[in-house]
Structure 1
Amino acid sequence: MAKGHRQLAQPSLGVPIGICYGRVANNLPSPTDAVNLINTNGITSIRLFNPVAESLQPFSGTGIQLTIGVPNEDLPSIAAGDVTTALEWLQTNIFAHVSADQIRYLVVGNEVFSKDTFYTPHVIPAILNLHQALQSLNLSEKIKISSAQAASILSNSYPPSSSSFDPNILPELTHFLQFLRDTSSPLMVNVYPYFSYINNPQFVSLDSALFRPAAGSVLNDQNLVYDNLFDQTIDAFIYAMEREGYGGIAVVVTETGWPTADGDAASGENALAYNGNVVKRSLENVGTPKRPGVGVEVFLFGLFDENEKKRNEFEKHFGIFGVNGVKAYDLVFH
């Protein structure tokens, strides 16, 4: 095994699949009912985008592992403060509602480097202050810190071996990658083959997006064979990190999914095909062509449809469950 691979913390067989619990909707079940639904279905890992007391408190004592977002708008104040500021933020927003034992990751900012660049200068200082705060509580090994990035931080992603980061963000990104390596934390990425397919149908086949090997959709890149876009995207990030000298950092997919309605190829059948394959590959530690056998931790998007999403109609229809608690399609999580 290559030297870079030995640095990776490999999940044990049966790594739990996480689900994103988004709440941009006006018709959702109560957080208590949502937590009951999560428990009933044996889901043991949840990502919350905002640490809202109402949605956090019902998780307390359940044993469900939480990945909690530090909202972009909170970054400037945390960055401008010191360790005390960060401690107060953690206590007020998280530890007052759930035990530190239930927190798996802090996601400091979402898609800042490429989509919400006003906050870019605040990401690293906020991360460092929060990390020092966790160190002071002896929690920095238990709770890992990262920041979720959009695929658009790559200026080139095809073929994966030619991938590179957007040079405009490299100064900040290099500091970020250095922190991840120093703390054995993962690069967090939001990966949506669905978007790649609908935005570039002349170049991206539906077969490749849905894990259906077919003539013309299989890529051979430096003797590694890719039969799906998910693997290509993960390995593109790995190659890009290697290019900058950070080859040993693990990758966690903080969002991925497929819509069930109101978009090209949006259906329950396709959502089941996509998410089902993602789940199976994670549970079986399939890994990717570049890192075979190194299971990829994944958070599926999302728990419910969100009827107040603003941009595209299909973005309202990523829910694995209906708001009535009935599965939109028969996805198995373990």
Structure 2
Amino acid sequence: MEIQPLFLSLTSLFCLFVLFPHSTAAAPIGICYGRVANNLPPPSTAVNLLKSNGITTVRLFNTDPDTLTSFSGTSISLMIGVPNELLPSLATTTIDTSLQWLQSNIFSHISPTQIKYIAVGNEILLKDPFYKPYLVPTMNNLYIALQTLGLSDTIKLSTSHAASILMNSYPPSASSFDPNHQSIMGPLLQFLKDTGSPLMVNVYPFFSFTNNPQFVSLNYALFRGRNREIDQNLVYDNLFDATIDAFVYAMEREGFEGIPVVVAETGWPTGGGEAASGENALAYNGNVVRRALNDVGTPKRPGLGVEVFLFDLFDENEKGGVECEKHFGIFGADGVKAYDLNFN
């Protein structure tokens, strides 16, 4: 998760805003299953909770064998994370190493038919720039390994970014990527285009509001905005639409059209900070779910549902950072909903 900083200009501020994606069918609503806590139920209990609530897509942040085994044989499809620290070895060794890693760490515990995405690293450009040179080579090696296994059409490779990889994003049509990441964004977008994979972004409008309330209203972040902005004859009345389209415009500025955007993480905390409450979390996540299921899309890409992974299944009481990071759970450790969010 990214804690987005305070910027001084409106142009820079907009890069902190929410990002949400789309897909070509009714967009599935996924949930992130973070486990940085000491009070969580076993993975088998979590899987039953997910199934009972009709959640069919889940993001895992690593390849923990017990967790993967608990999902095996269910109807739940997965996004599985490759930890940042593994990238140097996967990038600089042979394809056989990538094949072996996939087989021993993923496919020996769960069928490839349940894997939808493999997310290579998490917020590397923001948090772990040491791994930046290894990102695209790792993705290439894993892609060739998936090709060898006949799985490259069904399992898509991408990497999740902090929303602040954008520099200029207001208005959306003026959006561009931070030039500090220029050396990697071209090859990365080319990979995504060539393999039919989405751009993944972790976005937190909660932090955009709390860090910059003079520029971002709570209503705008919660889909209750009354003010409308017109950009290129398109009307924006919420942060959700404006930020998705900012990323679409940024990709087009680099010469890449048609790459879908998937939100790999987004959510709203129930405690630990200003505007953190169950009521606001329900308003935010409820609107995200409804828009996805109704294929609302954005002004630039209307009618294309937004595929989103909500953060988080449970509160994580051992998370670092500010207090609110521990309070994004939609469910308590006892399985009771923190607020009455309907996933379908």
TM-score in terms of structure 1 length: 0.95
- The CA distance in 2 between the partners of 1:50 and 1:150, in whole Å, is 18
Counterpart for residue 319 of structure 1: 329
Find out whether 1:144 has 2:161 as its counterpart: no
Counterpart for residue 316 of structure 2: 306
Counterpart for residue 158 of structure 1: 170
- The CA distance in 2 between the partners of 1:124 and 1:75, in whole Å, is 9
Give the alignment partner of residue 294 of structure 1, picking from 304, 317, 330.
Answer: 304
Counterpart for residue 12 of structure 2: none
- The CA distance in 1 between the partners of 2:342 and 2:202, in whole Å, is 22
Q: Which amino acid aligns with 1:313?
A: E
Q: Which amino acid aligns with 2:129?
A: T
TM-score in terms of structure 2 length: 0.92
Q: CA deviation at 1:218?
A: 2.3
- The CA distance in 2 between the partners of 1:199 and 1:210, in whole Å, is 15
Counterpart for residue 109 of structure 1: 121
Q: Say which SS state the counterpart of residue 254 (structure 1) adopts.
A: strand
| 2:22 and 2:297 in contact (8 A); partners too | no
Q: Say which SS state the counterpart of residue 140 (structure 2) adopts.
A: helix
| 1:208 and 1:218 in contact (8 A); partners too | no
Q: CA deviation at 1:136?
A: 0.1
Q: CA deviation at 1:77?
A: 0.6
- The CA distance in 2 between the partners of 1:202 and 1:31, in whole Å, is 42
Q: Which amino acid aligns with 1:228?
A: N
Q: CA deviation at 1:219?
A: 1.8
How many percent identity over aligned positions?
Answer: 66
Q: CA deviation at 1:9?
A: 8.9
Counterpart for residue 274 of structure 1: 284
Q: Once the two structures are superposed, what CA deviation does each residue of 1:169-192 show, in whole Å capped at 9, x if it has no partner?
A: 111110000000001110001111
Q: Which amino acid aligns with 2:25?
A: S
Q: Which amino acid aligns with 2:24?
A: P
Query: Residues 126-205 of structure 1 correspond to what in structure 2 (within 5 A)?
Result: 126-205=138-217
Q: Which amino acid aligns with 1:132?
A: I
Q: Say which SS state the counterpart of residue 332 (structure 1) adopts.
A: coil
Q: Which amino acid aligns with 2:198?
A: P
Question: Bigger CA drift: 188-197 or 268-277?
Answer: 188-197
Counterpart for residue 4 of structure 1: none
Q: Once the two structures are superposed, what CA deviation does each residue of 1:130-177 show, in whole Å capped at 9, x if it has no partner?
A: 000000000000000000011111011111111100111111110000
Q: CA deviation at 1:16?
A: 2.1
Give the alignment partner of residue 37 of structure 2, picking from 17, 22, 25.
Answer: 25
- The CA distance in 2 between the partners of 1:329 and 1:11, in whole Å, is 30
Counterpart for residue 17 of structure 2: none
Query: Residues 62-141 of structure 1 correspond to what in structure 2 (within 5 A)?
Result: 62-141=74-153
| 2:22 and 2:262 in contact (8 A); partners too | no
- The CA distance in 2 between the partners of 1:50 and 1:307, in whole Å, is 18
- The CA distance in 1 between the partners of 2:177 and 2:55, in whole Å, is 34
Contiguous gaps of at least 5 residues in structure 2: 1-20
| 2:22 and 2:307 in contact (8 A); partners too | no
Q: Once the two structures are superposed, what CA deviation does each residue of 1:93-148 show, in whole Å capped at 9, x if it has no partner?
A: 11011000000000001111122111100001100000000000000000000000
- The CA distance in 2 between the partners of 1:228 and 1:180, in whole Å, is 27
Q: Once the two structures are superposed, what CA deviation does each residue of 1:206-258 show, in whole Å capped at 9, x if it has no partner?
A: 010000022xx422212111111111111111010010001210000000000
Question: Are residues 131 and 239 of structure 1, via their aligned partners in 2, closer, same or farther at CA, if it must alter by over 3 Å?
Answer: same
Aligned residues: 324
Find out whether 1:36 has 2:45 as its counterpart: no
Counterpart for residue 5 of structure 1: none
Q: Say which SS state the counterpart of residue 295 (structure 1) adopts.
A: coil
Counterpart for residue 13 of structure 2: none
- The CA distance in 2 between the partners of 1:270 and 1:303, in whole Å, is 17
Find out whether 1:12 has 2:25 as its counterpart: yes
- The CA distance in 1 between the partners of 2:159 and 2:194, in whole Å, is 15
- The CA distance in 2 between the partners of 1:150 and 1:231, in whole Å, is 17
| 1:191 and 1:230 in contact (8 A); partners too | no
Counterpart for residue 228 of structure 1: 238
Counterpart for residue 207 of structure 1: 219
- The CA distance in 1 between the partners of 2:24 and 2:49, in whole Å, is 26
- The CA distance in 1 between the partners of 2:244 and 2:213, in whole Å, is 20
Q: Which amino acid aligns with 1:262?
A: G
